[in-house]
Amino acid sequence: MLFCPHLCSFKKRRGHSVGGVSEQRYQSIPVCVSAQIPSQAQDVLDAHLSEVNAVCFAPNSSLLATGGADRLIHLWNVVGGRLEANQTLEGAGGSITSVDFDPSGSQVLAATYNQAAQLWKVGETQSKETLSGHKDKVTAAKFKLTRHQAVTGSRDRTVKEWDLGRAYCSRTINVLSYCNDVVCGDHIIISGHNDQKIRFWDSRGPHCIQVIPVQGRVTSLNLSHDQLHLLSCSRDNTLKVIDLRISNIRQVFRADGFKCSSDWTKAVFSPDRSYALVGSSNGTLYIWDVNTGKLETSLQGPHCTAVNAVAWCFSGNHVVSVDQVRKVVLWH
């Protein structure tokens, strides 16, 4: 695969908002020096009324968001090894498929089955804005490097960029395949698709600048904090680490027993990028060492059905997993 210099332009720097007003982009969030590999479940909750699809930690915080098919987003605080309810965000028009915090941790963005994404301000229960314009389920909604811009992906085969200040779609990218997940760099959008391809888009230009094929439908993408490595999960029951400096697959992780259960199974790096974490269709969590490529551990217990998504807190001390029968599990 050819090296593409655009893929290295992930540097955070002072930029301009869509309106042309200069603003300070959020600097890199301090993360742990060394992530702690979880070994046991500390808290297990039947947190939603039905399937839990999404989970995300706020930046540099113990605040956690979970989103489910019950159209609710619950915010939690990790306190003394327990999950304490903080508040519930209401008003979503459909099942929640993904949740994301802005870089300041003050807003929550969710993708829904109601052909829209919705925005909440932490502390306010009702939705602040609805981003409408997709023609099918919205499968991913992520903030860019400012709190004023976001990107969504959908089963309508489009990726959209949004000016959140005006709830306005500033760009629509037409793609040949369903989009299952997106991540954002400074001027780069990366999308993962049903046609087994990961696509790279420059926000400043109209065309796809790179395509990396992977075997299996892409179910999730996760960008490392140094923005130099991408973790993908796909339906061929593998995780892949892509080195964005050379636009190539560096490692492939697989394990006996690991099965990617759905088109929305989410995998993540640890905050120091030492490990890759994912949940399996049998309820087991798998953790690989990114440096050696070896399976570090597998965790069993509370989950009796498929794990949909996982999150690793920015301090590196806790992992949270969510499943298809309402459970949210805190690991330490």
Region 21-49: what's the mean pLDDT? Answer: 73
Residue 231, pLDDT above cutoff 60: yes
One-letter identity of residue 6: H
Specify if 17 maps to a domain: no
With beta carbons less than 8 A apart as the criterion, state whether 129 and 121 touch: no
Specify if 151 maps to a domain: yes
DSSP state of 44: E
What is the CATH classification number for the domain harbouring 327? 2.130.10.10
| Total structural domains within the chain | 1
Specify if 327 maps to a domain: yes
Report CA-CA distances (Å) from 53 to 57, 144, 207, 246, 313: 14, 21, 31, 33, 18
Specify if 16 maps to a domain: no
- The torsion defined by the Cα of 36, 107, 84 and 304, in degrees rounded to 10, comes to -60
% the chain with pLDDT above 90: 84
Q: In which band, very low, low, confident or very high, does the pLDDT at 63 lie, cut at 50, 70 and 90? A: very high
The more confident residue out of 85 and 93 is: 85
List pLDDT tens digits, range 288-301.
Answer: 999 999 999 999 99
With beta carbons less than 8 A apart as the criterion, state whether 128 and 114 touch: no
Specify if 26 maps to a domain: no
| Per-position DSSP letters for 211-226, written without gaps between them | EEE-SS-EEEEEE-TT
Of 39, 19, 6, nearest to 186 by C-alpha is 6
% the chain with pLDDT above 70: 90
Q: In which band, very low, low, confident or very high, does the pLDDT at 31 lie, cut at 50, 70 and 90? A: low
Q: In which band, very low, low, confident or very high, does the pLDDT at 18 lie, cut at 50, 70 and 90? A: very low
* Neighbour tally for 300: CB within 10 Å: 12
Q: In which band, very low, low, confident or very high, does the pLDDT at 227 lie, cut at 50, 70 and 90? A: very high
Specify if 68 maps to a domain: yes
Region 42-63: what's the mean pLDDT? Answer: 96
What is the value of pTM for the model shown?
0.91
List pLDDT tens digits, range 191-205.
Answer: 999 999 999 999 888
Specify if 95 maps to a domain: yes
Q: In which band, very low, low, confident or very high, does the pLDDT at 61 lie, cut at 50, 70 and 90? A: confident
List pLDDT tens digits, range 255-302.
Answer: 999 999 999 999 999 999 999 999 999 999 999 999 999 999 999 999
Q: In which band, very low, low, confident or very high, does the pLDDT at 32 lie, cut at 50, 70 and 90? A: low
Specify if 127 maps to a domain: yes
List pLDDT tens digits, range 132-186.
Answer: 999 999 999 999 988 899 999 999 999 999 999 999 999 999 999 999 999 998 7
- Residue 311 token pair: 């999150």
Domain of residue 195, residue span: 31-331
